[in-house]
Amino acid sequence: MKQRLIDSIIFPLLAVMAIAIFAGGLGVIFILLEASSLHVWGPVILGMSLVVGVPTLAAVLDRRVD
C-alpha cells in the first residue's frame, strides 16, 4: 500500500522533470543557434529538420520492426 502511494507520486514527478529538462535543453539550443552567425535561420533550419526528421525516423523504424 505504501509503495503504491510513493510510486503514484514519484513517477508523475519524474515525467514532469524529464519533459522540463528536454524542453529546457531544446530551448537553450535554439537560443544559442539564434545567437550564432546563422541568426534567425539557425532555429528555423533546426525546427524544420525536427518537424520533418522525427516523423520520418519514426516511420523508418516502424517499418523495420514489422
Nearest to 34 by CA among 13, 26, 20: 26
pLDDT of 66 reads 64
CA distance 20 to 26: 10
Q: pLDDT at position 20, please?
A: 98
Contacts 24+ apart (CB under 8 A), 32-39: none
Assessment of whether the complete model's pTM goes beyond 0.95: no
- DSSP for 2-44 reads HHHHHHHHHHHHHHHHHHHHHHHHHHHHHHHHHHSTTTTHHHH
pLDDT digits (tens, 9 = 90+) for 4-29: 988 999 999 999 999 999 999 999 99
> What pLDDT score was predicted for residue 25?
97
pLDDT digits (tens, 9 = 90+) for 43-60: 999 999 999 999 999 999
